[in-house]
Each structure stands twice: as C-alpha cells, then as structure tokens.
Amino acid sequence: MTKKPELLVPAGSLEELERYLAAGADAAIIGEAKYGMRLPGDFSPDEIAEAVRLGHGRGAKIYVSVNNLMSNELLEDLPDYVKRLADCGVDAVEFGDPAVLQTVREVAPELGLHWNAEMTSTNYATANYWGSKGASRVVLARELNMDEITGMSPSLQIEAEVQVHGMTNIYHSKRRLVQSYMNHQGRPVEPGSDLGPRRGLFLIEAERPEEKFPIYEDRNGTHIMSSDDICILEDLHVLMAADIDSFKIETLLKPAAYNEVVISAYRQAIEAYFRDPDGYELDESWIEAIRRVQDPERELSFGFFYKEQVY
C-alpha cells in the first residue's frame, strides 16, 4: 500500500466539476461528444481548458475521453484535437482505438494514455502490452470479479482503474435502434427530436418486467445501460488493500445531488482506511446516505464482483 487511490468521476459541465471536486473527487473525466462516448455532458475545447484550470487549481487531474469508434472521417481532425488537449494541459486521454494512441505519441507525447477497451481488458498480459506501447493505465473490464481484479494487480506494470459505483453500459450500436423501432411502430421520430439521456427511455423485457434498462441515442449511436447500479462500498477495503490506483464512480444518468452523496461516501471510506488500515471498519452511515437517495427502481448490487466466471 503506497498511496491513496484516486477517486475519479465523469463531469457533464463546469458546474458539476466544481461540485464533484468539492464533494471529494480528485480526478474528473470529461470530453466532447464528437470524440468521446457515454459522457454526461459535452465540453468544447474552451470549456476543457477552463476545466483544467479549475481542476489543477484544486490539485485534481483532468482526463479527456477519446473513446469513440474512430472512423476515417474522425481521424482527419484527430491530430489537431489532440494538440488542443495538450495545449489545454489535460493530464491524460482515455482511448480504446490504437489510432488514438498512435496520434498522441506522434503529436503530444506528454499526454498520459489510459487504455479502456471496455469488456476486453481482462488480463495483465494484454494490459502490459499496451503499457509497452505507451499506455500508463488500464481500465479493467466490468465483467471481472474480485478475485480476478485483486489477483491481477501484482502482475500489472501500469496503473489499474476499476469502476466501483454506478450503472454500466451493456450494449452499444452505431445504428439508430430506437428511431428505427419507433418508425416501425408507426410513431415516426420528428427531425430534431431528442432521444438522448434526458428523454428517460427504458428497455423492458417481457420475462423481467421489473427490470428497466435505460436506453438512449446520440450522435454516436444507441446505448443500453444496466438495470442496477454497482456499489462496492462495503468491500472497498479489499480493492484498497490490493493497491488499485483509481476508483471510478459512474455519474451518467444521475442527478448531481445524488452523485455528490456517493462521492462523499467513498471519500470518507478512503480517508478512514488510510488513517488506520488495520482498524478499518465500514461506517454504515456512509452506505445509508446512498440508500436514501438511491432510485427505488434501481437495485444497488455488487455487479460481477462476486460472480463466478464461466469462459
């Protein structure tokens, strides 16, 4: 155990950034919808520069998501965008496509690189391979269980980030599935209609009517999210003992007031653990605070953390 883990949150606006940092986050990930997917808000380059100023002024790091599926068209403007991010002073970019890594190494090698391949970042060898190519962090797959995560940590040669709270993406398609469905049902979508996160659409299976899967469309396609929220607060100490470098709280589709409560709870747990690791105990008030603001239709769960994996 060498250092406190980073508490990382996506921010959808400068106001949210300030609120989340005040609540206890010490890193934020932001981005522009053209280059990043599943972000709670869209930051222009000027706003990214301001976010860096605000974050660095509080000793926090600012990362930019460049995790979109890269088309040939996007690649044309990518070098200029990466240069702009470097000029803004961002600390790192999160990527999945090797084209982003290659561009960063060519035009802004001072930028950190966080490899996020969603469900395929499942072993230390692949993570270390990307480390050899320049990545400084791996975002571990949400499908890994606790034993796989903690067992991988000693073999990693780069930092590891783990999602500890919030909903997860379970499906993505570049196709306009919601629009296609509505058109097929005789309810054509008018030009300019909002099918994004604020529309509040859900996918419900006939076999499981009690579970609601948030679904929305934006310029990057269709996104289906999990019907429950990960909450590993009760066993956060296991990840801290394993020296995981970064804990991510997913803020997408949550009100800022909810996110502030969650951030504060995890911050208190981190501080309590590092004051006295051997004597650490969960304070039930931390998780009770989350339960009080939790959507009653969304269960708090351990996600895949304690599920046996069958390959």
**Residue-wise DSSP of 190-250:** PTT---SGGG--EEEETTEEEEEEEEEEETTEEEEE-SSEEE-GGGHHHHHHTT--EEEEP
Per the structure block, which two tokens stand in for 295?
């959507």
Burial degree of 275 (CB within 10 A; 0-12, 13-18, 19+): exposed
Q: Answer whether residue 53 is part of any domain.
A: yes
Convert the pLDDT of each residue in 83-105 to its tens digit: 999 999 999 999 999 999 999 99
Determine the pLDDT at residue 311: 46
Q: Answer whether residue 55 is part of any domain.
A: yes
Determine the pLDDT at residue 171: 79
**Residue 159 backbone phi and psi in degrees, to 5:** -65, 155
**Residues spanned by the domain of 14:** 6-167+227-301
Determine the pLDDT at residue 219: 81
Per the structure block, which two tokens stand in for 138?
């791996």
Per the structure block, which two tokens stand in for 182?
């509505």
Judged by DSSP in three states, 170 sits in: strand
Contact 202, 210 (CB under 8 A): no
Q: Where are the beta strands (DSSP E) in 105-201?
A: 112-115, 137-139, 159-166, 169-173
Determine the pLDDT at residue 212: 86
Which residues are CB-neighbours of 10 under 8 A, at least 6 positions away? 28, 29, 30, 39, 40, 65, 250, 251, 252
- CA dist 28 to 61, 69, 179, 212, 268, Å? 6, 22, 32, 28, 18
Tens digit of pLDDT at every position of the chain (311 positions)? 568 999 999 999 999 999 999 999 999 999 999 999 999 999 999 999 999 999 999 999 999 999 998 999 999 999 999 999 999 999 999 999 999 999 999 999 999 999 998 767 889 999 999 999 999 999 999 989 999 999 999 999 999 999 999 999 887 777 776 666 566 555 556 555 566 677 667 778 778 888 888 887 888 778 888 889 999 999 999 999 999 999 999 999 999 999 999 999 999 999 999 999 999 999 999 999 999 999 999 999 998 888 765 44
Partner residues linked to 7 by β-bridges? 247
Q: Answer whether residue 179 is part of any domain.
A: no
Q: Which amino acid is at 119?
A: M
Determine the pLDDT at residue 216: 76
Q: Answer whether residue 262 is part of any domain.
A: yes
Q: Answer whether residue 198 is part of any domain.
A: no
Determine the pLDDT at residue 42: 94
Q: Answer whether residue 154 is part of any domain.
A: yes
Q: How many domains does the chain have?
A: 1
Determine the pLDDT at residue 242: 95
Q: Answer whether residue 106 is part of any domain.
A: yes
Per the structure block, which two tokens stand in for 123?
């072993």
CATH code, 134: 3.20.20.70
Q: Is 67 left (phi over 0), alpha (psi -120 to 50) or beta?
A: alpha
Can you tell me the distance from the alpha carbon of 263 to that of 8, in angstroms, rounded to the nearest whole number? 9
Can you tell me the distance from the alpha carbon of 113 to that of 95, in angstroms, rounded to the nearest whole number? 7
Can you tell me the distance from the alpha carbon of 36 to that of 219, in angstroms, rounded to the nearest whole number? 10
Nearest in space to 232 (alpha carbons), one of 144, 285, 159, 166: 166
Can you tell me the distance from the alpha carbon of 100 to that of 113, in angstroms, rounded to the nearest whole number? 9
Nearest in space to 148 (alpha carbons), one of 281, 280, 238, 273: 238
